[in-house]
Amino acid sequence: MEYYSPTDLKEAYALLGRYGASAIPVAGSTFFMGHREELFDEVEAVVDIKRLGLSYLRLEGGRLKIGATTTLAGIQKSELTARGVFRIFADTVSELNIKEVRNMATIGGEVCIAGEVDMPTTLLAYDADIVIGSSKGTRVLSMQKFHRGYLNNALETGEIVIEVQVPQPRNGTGGGFGKFERTAADLPIVNACVRMALGKNGVADEVAIAVGAATAAGVPVRVAAAEKAVTGKKVDDALIAEAAEAAGAIDCVDDFRASARLRSRWVRCAVEDAMKKAVAHARTGD
Amino acid sequence: MKAITLNINGEKCRVQARPHWSLAYTIREKVGLTGTKTGCEMGTCGSCTVLLDGQPIFSCLKMAVDAEGHEITTIEGLEKDGKLHPLQQAFIEDHGMQCGFCTPGMIVAGRALLDENPRPSEQQVREAIAGHLCRCGTYARIVRSILHAAEMSQNR
Amino acid sequence: MTTETTVVGKSLPLIDGYEKVTGKLKYAGDLPALQRMHHAKVLRSPYAHARIKHLDTGRAEALDGVSAVLTYRDPIIGTKRTCGQVWTDPSFNFRGPLISDEVCFVGDEVAAVSAVDEDTAKEALRLIDVDFEELPAVFDMEEAMKPGAPRVRPWGKNYLDSSLFAWGDIEQGFKKADYIIENRTTMGNQQHAPLDRNACIAHWDSEQHLTIWTSTQALFWLRDAICEFFELSPRQVRVHSTPTGGSFGLWWANNFMFIARALARKARRPVRFSLTRDEVQTTVKRRERPITDIRLGVKKDGTLVAQSHRHLLDNGAYGNKFDPYQSVADLYTTEHGRTEFIGVSTNLLTAGCMRGVGDLTLAFAIEQAIDLAAEKVNMDPVEFRLKNVWKTGDILHTSQEVVFAKLMFNKEPEIRLTSSGMHECLRKGAELIGWKDKWKGWNEPSAVDGSRRRGVGCALSTHISGLPFFGYNGIVIKVNSDGTMALTTGIGRMGQGGDTTQAMVAAEVLGVKLEDINVIDGDSEVCPHTMVTYGSNGMHMVARATRAAAEDAKRQILDLAADALEANAEDLEIRDRRIFVKGSPDTGIGLKELMSKPIYEYLASPEIIGRASQGVDFTKSGKMMIADFCEAEVDTRTCQVKIVKFVAVHDSGTIVNPAVCENQVAGGMYQSLGFCFTEHLVFDDETGAILNPNFMDYKLVGPMDMPDPIIHFVQVYDQDGPFGAKGIGEGVTCAVPAAVAAAVRNAIGVWINPPITPDKVMAALHRG
């Protein structure tokens, strides 16, 4: 096993091209090191992409651009997520109680893992795009299209995620995150993110609801039925309960961590919690 | 094998490391500083916490080869000229430990917290050590020790 | 009878605190490499039960850097006595044959390799070719007991002869009852889960002499087990036990230590075997899982008249326990009783003692039945307990001393409880939780707020303060020329502060300060025999020897001082490092001056060695008393349970070091709260493999999860314990699950067996 730490993208792409499927790109290294025993046989080259200048948050052309190797702590501490429409990204990071992991794990890694982490759920609710780079150039995929299943995504051999882009939500948009876990320092068992634009008279003009961790698909999903139940209506507790109920109908995974039935209940609860937070946030805009 | 130089507690250590060796393993087995403990080797217990440029990380999840060029602080770096850090003093006085295995990680995490926030609340202390396990269940006195150390540092 | 103390009763800092906070304390995994040392790795069974059909280690042996490969074919594996026979060592804890051609649980050892480094050893494991023939396996205790059940392992029955205790006339007893309560409970699979992974270094320093370094709480047991297993003399084996990074009953004499020893022999080099987290969780041991049937007879006025308990305990593949070390079977005084224990084998991870052992699992069952009885006669559960719980001097029918006296001498002695502050514990606990306001009656939650329902519960337990048949305790105290001292003991160090508190006892007797005493421990050649450190024996039993050794040293010091002061030794006292005449403190001599002063006859200064080696009278049994109170909140919407408040009141006699003891109580609470909710090894129904072999999914309670406990000590002076002390370390876990289950029951009206998961709460509250 070789270790490379390229300092420009071209060099990184060349290495990834040379080693093909036996190369693993690494930034925070939490996933690679956490799974090093299983990965030991298949990995020939570890390509560290941390020194490619991909650690940044900036608002550009109406999009929040987050470099792939930006740590969760970096997102949490940015002024861009301190208040306003992008605050949800800091809130999402805060849901992970482990400071040491927030200091190491990167948004690119979370996007690629997708299953048992929080950030992809939020990115999905916020219609994020994933910028993918390789020696052939760059391409952009929506979160919806990026994920194919647990640890399975649209990346081709030689490609890496280099940036995540989030379109700036319209004014009056609030975000909320709901989560269930077994202890305060755990993998998420269920998470949910709600993005909601509140119009006049408390009517939900635009609603996005994403559910993660619990899904049978192994990756976050948008819950169209729940979104539809709310969109264009005046938001009150009864409507929130109705949307949560609809979200609970998604296919949930059943395993020793929690039954599908419990997860379905928690999906309802998490969506309800997230929606209430989103409404509160939309009202204050803070 | 790759030759690397690690800057640990202000001292340059040259070692040979393989890419899948964690910083924790390398510090312990190759540098010989065994105060950094490795309970789970997958980022779930906090025993291996060290500071990387002042920020706490799990050294079991950090590749040793990727730790070059950073200032690494381990538990051995807290005692200066035979004088204990206030955190160490407080942990002794307040019995912030039982078997002692989680203690180095707790103290290093406490150090990162106090560097950033010299007068933390109890809740902030708990958040700072949220990713750390103490199987002996000493949390109440660990939290008390960190709060006490904050007080001691202020009064210095 | 209490005496004024200057050291005992103070929260003095741990004597190894400095080493712990600086990271200088060496656990076994921290020891420096020996020259030529190799590293071990083990190939493990993927099957719960299988026979090795084909095993080829040729390619592994040929790999560069490999020094030995160990399989069942090696002649050194086990002796006549252990191969093919039941291993009856009281540690009930290891495998029988070291490695066999029949594997009996997932994770069982198939082959072991030593190599120049861990990476090479792992590589060698991949080069071993092995084929298995799967054999029928059984995972359920009651299935395993049925005639025709698959045999769990190639020797012995699937279940052991029952341990039966009976008193009075049980049938007559139940006839006298107005109501009979019948109840069955089970619990989950808890793992000790110490944070440290442990390691063992074995080194043959000559053909005839073996040295072992490992973290263990059982220095002499380990040495003796190695001697017995490999047919060696204690003269040939030296064990260094380092402190454990938590043990809780896990690190005694374990198979992996024996493997290190056998590999070192074969490789002709020092070998270190360091366990991975997965190996700690899934290949060593776990707490026995119980199935308990209780029957209680109660009169309308709330008097218990008869009790019967039948307790099945899952020993897993290689556990061999016939009696779970229970005291709680005697907790309620009834005229008629019957208690039965049956150890059952299954093709699951070996089970054995874990902190609190039988008293945790049996208390869970008994306390629930007690609540059911109290409900039946509509009595407040605290009042019901006050009425029926045991008192000082009560006869103990089910103590292990009875079993062992019978086993060893065929006698049935009468054993009595030395002291009990249980009534006071109950009253104090009720006061601290606010029982009067919060207990609203049976089927009445304490409070309801929307979907959140609160309830309270209480539970009692008790536990041994050591058992005499653990062996003699030897202690040596050497007084240095400056009046400082070295106390040598075989006591284990696993976070319970045993070295500190033993030194406190010696310092109290010898009138010196705690910092004057160094404790030397963990060396089987240097330390006198001390009983294995388990069963909460440190303060009640080992400390008696410590006190006796200190008194021996004190007597010699006073004799010496008598000469120097021209006084009678009986008239002298030591305090604050100074010997003086009682009643005239100005006539005296400093300990340092005395010890450094040459004696005329020898032209040399003296050396004093105080010593004691003694057994403990088993007919007076000191037990600790525990009353736990819990307030829990169940959210019927999310089905999650939150602990709102937890009160732990303990009578462990005199509290020698309050801070140490508070940490013990808190730790016991956290561990047992983990057991109540999230600590549960999940075995795959089909394969018997453990699905959650690490902290990612075996969830320990963290710093954000539970409230700090409210702790109170009822200090009833125990006449037999040193300075009135009893044990504490294990009992702290015992009553917690029962108190939690009672609080949850009070909140939502349903009894739930641990682990109390949101899934189970949901099943109880939301059917369909």
Residue range C115-168, pLDDT digits in tens: 999 999 999 999 999 999 999 999 999 999 999 999 998 888 899 889 899 999
Q: Is A180 on the interface with C (CB under 8 A)?
A: yes
Q: Subunits with at least 3 CB pairs below 8 A relative to chain C?
A: A, B
pLDDT tens profile C36-66: 999 999 999 999 999 999 999 999 999 999 9
CATH architecture assignment, domain C36-135+199-243+251-282: Alpha-Beta Complex (3.90)
CB–CB of C766 and A186 under 8 A?
A: no
Task: Kindly report the average pLDDT of chain B as a whole number.
Answer: 97
**How many B-C residue pairs are in contact by the CB < 8 A criterion?**
168
pLDDT tens profile C189-198: 999 999 999 9
Residue C310 has pLDDT above 60, yes or no: yes
Minimum distance, in Å, between the CA of residue A118 and any CA atom of chain B: 16
pLDDT tens profile C377-412: 999 999 999 999 999 999 999 888 887 888 788 888
Minimum distance, in Å, between the CA of residue C704 and any CA atom of chain A: 6
Flag residues of chain B having pLDDT under 70.
none
Tokens of A284: 């204050």
- A29: chain B residues, CB-CB within 8 Å: 61-63, 66
Q: Is B86 on the interface with A (CB under 8 A)?
A: no
CB–CB of C13 and B95 under 8 A?
A: yes
CB–CB of B99 and C243 under 8 A?
A: yes
Residue C87 confidence (pLDDT): 47
Residue C3 has pLDDT above 80, yes or no: no
For B90, nearest residue in chain C (alpha carbons): C21
Q: Is A3 on the interface with C (CB under 8 A)?
A: no
**How many A-B residue pairs are in contact by the CB < 8 A criterion?**
80
CA-to-CA dists, residue C669 to A109, C217, C675, C735, angstroms: 38, 21, 10, 9
CB–CB of A186 and C699 under 8 A?
A: yes
Please report, as a single letter, which amino acid is at residue B9: N
CB–CB of C700 and B88 under 8 A?
A: no
Residue C750 confidence (pLDDT): 97
What DSSP string runs through B71-88?
Answer: EEE-GGGT-BTTB--HHH
Q: Is B92 on the interface with C (CB under 8 A)?
A: yes
CB–CB of B139 and C32 under 8 A?
A: no
Question: How far, in Å, CA of C342 to CA of B145, rounded?
Answer: 46
Q: Subunits with at least 3 CB pairs below 8 A relative to chain B?
A: A, C
pLDDT tens profile C667-704: 999 999 999 999 999 999 999 999 999 999 999 999 99
Of the candidates A1, A32, A100, which has its C-beta nearest B56's C-beta?
A100
Residue C510 confidence (pLDDT): 98
Please report, as a single letter, which amino acid is at residue C5: T
Percent residues over pLDDT 90 in chain C: 85
Q: Is B95 on the interface with C (CB under 8 A)?
A: yes
Ordered by start, the domain boundaries in chain B are 2-75, 86-154
Assign C84 a pLDDT band (cuts: 50, 70, 90). Answer: very low
Task: Kindly report the average pLDDT of chain C as a whole number.
Answer: 94
Q: Which domains does chain A have, with CATH numbers?
A: 2-48 (3.30.43), 57-166 (3.30.465.10), 174-284 (3.30.390.50)
Q: Subunits with at least 3 CB pairs below 8 A relative to chain A?
A: B, C
What DSSP string runs through C339-405?
Answer: EEEEEEE-SSS-EE--TTHHHHHHHHHHHHHHHHHHHHTT--HHHHHHHHB--TT-B-SS-HHHHHH
For C697, nearest residue in chain A (alpha carbons): A257
Minimum distance, in Å, between the CA of residue C163 and any CA atom of chain A: 35
CATH architecture assignment, domain B2-75: Roll (3.10)
Residue C81 has pLDDT above 70, yes or no: no
Among C41, C451, C697, C698, most A C-beta atoms within 10 A, so best to mutate, is: C697
The pLDDT profile of chain A, 286 residues, written as one tens digit per residue, is 999 999 999 999 999 999 999 999 999 999 999 999 888 889 999 999 999 999 999 999 999 999 999 999 999 999 999 999 999 999 999 999 999 999 999 999 999 988 899 999 999 999 999 999 999 999 999 999 999 888 889 999 999 999 999 999 998 999 999 999 999 999 999 999 999 999 988 999 999 999 999 999 999 999 999 999 999 999 999 999 999 999 999 999 999 999 999 999 999 999 999 999 999 999 998 8
CATH code: domain C286-467+619-765 is 3.30.365.10
Residue C319 in 3-state DSSP?
coil
* Contact assessment for residue B42 and residue A8, using Cβ atoms and an 8 Å cutoff: no
Query: How many other β-carbons are positioned within 10 Å of the β-carbon of residue A241?
Result: 15
Tokens of C688: 């018997």
Q: Do domains B2-75 and B86-154 have the same CATH topology?
A: no
Tell me the residues of chain B between 6 and 35 that have a Cβ less than 8 Å away from chain C: 18, 28, 32-35
- A98: chain B residues, CB-CB within 8 Å: 43, 130-131
CB–CB of A182 and C678 under 8 A?
A: yes
How does C410-443 read in b/e, with b if 16+ C-beta sit within 10 Å? eeeeebebbbbbbbbbbbbbbebbebeebbeebe
Among B95, B127, B147, most C C-beta atoms within 10 A, so best to mutate, is: B95
* Contact assessment for residue C600 and residue C426, using Cβ atoms and an 8 Å cutoff: no
CATH classification of C468-614 is 1.10.260.40, yes or no?
no
Q: What is the pTM of this model?
A: 0.97
Residue C733 confidence (pLDDT): 98
Do you find a cis peptide bond into C243, omega within 30 degrees of 0? no
Question: How far, in Å, CA of C399 to CA of C394, rounded?
Answer: 12
CA-to-CA dists, residue C336 to C183, C381, C432, C462, angstroms: 18, 22, 34, 20
Question: How far, in Å, CA of C14 to CA of C501, rounded?
Answer: 8
* Contact assessment for residue B151 and residue C725, using Cβ atoms and an 8 Å cutoff: no
Tell me the residues of chain C between 707 and 736 that have a Cβ less than 8 Å away from chain B: 708-709
Percent residues over pLDDT 70 in chain C: 97
* Contact assessment for residue A108 and residue A27, using Cβ atoms and an 8 Å cutoff: yes
Alpha-carbon torsion (B32, B37, B42, B46), positive or negative: negative
Burial of C75 (0-12, 13-18, 19+ CB in 10 A): exposed
CB–CB of C758 and A261 under 8 A?
A: no
CB–CB of C22 and B76 under 8 A?
A: yes
For C126, nearest residue in chain A (alpha carbons): A41
Question: How far, in Å, CA of C410 to CA of C280, rounded?
Answer: 39
CB–CB of A265 and C759 under 8 A?
A: no
Q: What is the mean pLDDT of residues C268-281?
A: 98
CATH architecture assignment, domain B86-154: Orthogonal Bundle (1.10)
CB–CB of B95 and C663 under 8 A?
A: yes
Question: How far, in Å, CA of C356 to CA of C733, rounded?
Answer: 6
CA-to-CA dists, residue A248 to A226, C49, C176, C735, angstroms: 9, 41, 55, 38
- Predicted ipTM? 0.98
Ordered by start, the domain boundaries in chain C are 36-135+199-243+251-282, 286-467+619-765, 468-614
Q: Is C84 on the interface with A (CB under 8 A)?
A: no
Minimum distance, in Å, between the CA of residue C666 and any CA atom of chain B: 6
Residue C253 confidence (pLDDT): 87
- C678: chain A residues, CB-CB within 8 Å: 182-183
Q: Do domains C286-467+619-765 and C468-614 have the same CATH topology?
A: yes
For A98, nearest residue in chain B (alpha carbons): B131
Q: Which of C323, C284, C397, C312 is nearest to C90 (CA)?
A: C323
